[in-house]
Amino acid sequence: MGWFGGDKAAEPPEISRLEMVQKTSGQPDQVVTVDVVKKKPTKKICCACPDTKALRDTCITEHGPDSSRCSQLIESHKQCLREEGFKV
Query: Does the annotation place 47 within a ligand binding site?
Result: yes
Give which of 36, 44, 72 is closest to 56, Cα–Cα: 72
Query: Does the annotation place 80 within a ligand binding site?
Result: no
Q: What are phi and psi of 74, to 5 degrees?
A: -65, -45
Give which of 42, 45, 22 is closest to 34, Cα–Cα: 22
Which residues line the annotated binding site? Answer: 46-47
Which residues line the annotated binding site for Cu cation? Answer: 46-47
